[in-house]
Each structure stands twice: as C-alpha cells, then as structure tokens.
Amino acid sequence: MSTYTLSTADIPRRAYDIPRLEATRPFQWLRQGWEDLRAAPLTGLGYGAVVALIAWLFVLLTTALNDFYLVPFLFGGFLVIAPLLSVGLMAWARQRETHRSGYAKSMRTILSTNASSIGLMGLFLLLVFINWIMLSNLLFGGLFHEALPAYGAVRPLPVMFGESLVFTLAFGAVAFVLALLVFRLTALSLPMLVDQKVDAFNAGFASWRAVGENWPAMALWALIIAALTTVGILTWFIGLIPVVPVLAYASWHAYRDTLVPRSSQAAK
C-alpha cells in the first residue's frame, strides 16, 4: 500500500491510501453497480436512455452532413466522452452510500461546489475527442486516398483493417495511446471530482498514480468498460441504456476502493 497526497492545502482530506487490489476486483465493482441500478431502476435506466439518445443524435447529425465515413471512428470517441456523461450517476452512487436523499439536490451540490473542475475535465475530454476524430480522418484520407466517400462506399473498420496493414497498425497505435492516456487520467478522477472539491489537475494526478499502481485490476476494468460499451453501441445503442448506469455506479465503487482517504491526523 502506498499514499498519495494532494498538492493543495484547501482540501480537508489531503492524503489517500492506495491499496493493492486483486486482479479480479472489477467484477465486484460490476456487481455493486448492478445493485445500485436495482435500487433505483428508473433513475439509472432513464439516464442511460438519455445518453443513448445523445449517441443516436450524434450519428444522425454526422450522416446528415454527409460525413458517414466518420461514424466508425465515433465509436472510439464515444468511449472518451461517455464517462463525463455519467457524472450525475456517480453523484447518485455517492448519495446512496452516504444515505442522503434527493437526486436533484446532489446535482446542484456538484455544480455549485466543483463546477469549474468538472468543466475543465470535460474540456480536456472534448479536446481529446476532437483530436481523435481529426487523427482518424487524417489516417483514413492519407492511407486510402479518400476525402469524403459516399454513403454506399463506406466500409466497416474490419474491412479497412484487411485492406491496409499500415492503416491497422497506425490506427491501433493512435487508439491505444489515447485510450491509455484518457483512462489513466479519468478512471478515478471523475468520481473524485464528484466526491469533494478538488481541482482537475490533482484529481488527474491521483488517478494516474492509483491506476498505475494497480495495473492488473485496472487493465481488466478497462477491457470490461470497452467490451460492454461496444456491445451497447452494436445493439443500435439500446444496450447503452443499462450499460451506462452500471458502469457509472461501478466507477464510483472503483474510486472508493482504490483511493481511500486517510484521516486528517494520519495525513499530517
């Protein structure tokens, strides 16, 4: 077990213990997330339905602009911004843990006490999303020499992978680097921003450190998130309705297990 200390004196709980987690701990987080969903199914499924609708609108807007070739790349981009869309559900999980009532009250608390930090993290994720789309576009156009293919000429990613080994390697490398960066910085920082008033930089550094020190469990957790989100997308986004709340609630429990606040006496 190690300790991470936030580099600011304005937060009451400044030090966190980072315990060593068993590699299978993510399955426990999933089970806890499922229990949270069962405790308030209308809240969770309603939130998931809104996220699924946003994803649908995103694809419809893309096709309406005749940029249908970008749709396959939007799948990866959705994995980037989906955690930010789940902040409200993390707040509900926190609320349930502390036996508080009133979902709207919890949301108002988050927006009033830590809005700037959550907004800054959201801006970071938005910039990553935009850069992912731009890099995907450059790779596609540069290697296939197609700027704007027609609707009927669009090919699934597996087909494009089979057509060009260079595209497969370049696309995979860019996707892996961006995914690793985003996961390490946000896997635990978003729940921390929900939990208390802390700046986005400290939360990101804490997440980076804790994820790195528990890489077997966190690697499994990243694979689970990617797999379940992919299933949700491939089911015409319908699967996102239960997947989004379960993963959001589970992310809260992952944070609580991985970054354990020390008492003020122990932190000194």
CA distance 209 to 3: 10
Structure tokens at 212: 């790195």
Residue 115 maps to a domain: yes
Q: Given this model, what pLDDT does residue 265 score? A: 42
What pLDDT shows up at residue 76?
Answer: 64
Establish if 26 belongs to a structural domain.
no
Three-state SS string over 183-243 comes to HHHHCCHHHHHHHCCCCHHHHHHHHHHHHHHCHHHHHHHHHHHHHHHHHHHHCCCCCHHHH
Q: What is the pLDDT of residue 165?
A: 74
Q: How far apart are CA 21 and CA 187, in angstroms?
A: 15
pTM comes to 0.82
pLDDT the model gives residue 228: 93
- Classify residue 65 by its DSSP letter: T
250: exposed, middle or buried (Cβ count in 10 Å: 0-12, 13-18, 19+): buried
C-alpha to C-alpha distance for 90 and 153, rounded to whole angstroms = 41
Amino acid at 144: F
Contacts of 82 (CB under 8 A, 6+ apart): 51, 229, 244
Give the pLDDT means over successive 10-residue stretches in the chain (268 positions): 68 78 96 94 92 82 60 64 83 77 54 78 84 74 58 54 71 83 92 87 93 96 92 89 95 94 55
- Name the packing angle between helices 87-97 and 240-258 (round to 10°): 60
Decide if 122 is inside a domain. yes
- Cβ proximity of 188 and 1 under 8 Å: no
Cα 174 to chain centroid distance, Å, stands at 18
4 is a domain residue: no
Residue type for position 102: G
The reply to whether 12 falls in a domain is no
Q: Residue 134 burial (CB < 10 Å; 0-12/13-18/19+)?
A: exposed
Q: Where are the beta strands (DSSP E) in the chain?
A: 2-5, 15-18, 260-261
- Answer yes or no: is 171 within a domain: yes
How many folded domains does the chain comprise? 1
Pick the closest to residue 80 from 174, 153, 216, 154 (CA basis): 174
Asked whether residue 163 is assigned to any structural domain, the reply reads yes
pLDDT at 220: 97
Phi, psi (rounded to 5 degrees) for 15: -115, 140
CA distances from 193 to 1, 115, 196, 262 (A): 23, 9, 6, 17
Could you tell me if residue 86 is inside a domain? Answer: yes
Range of the domain at 219: 41-259
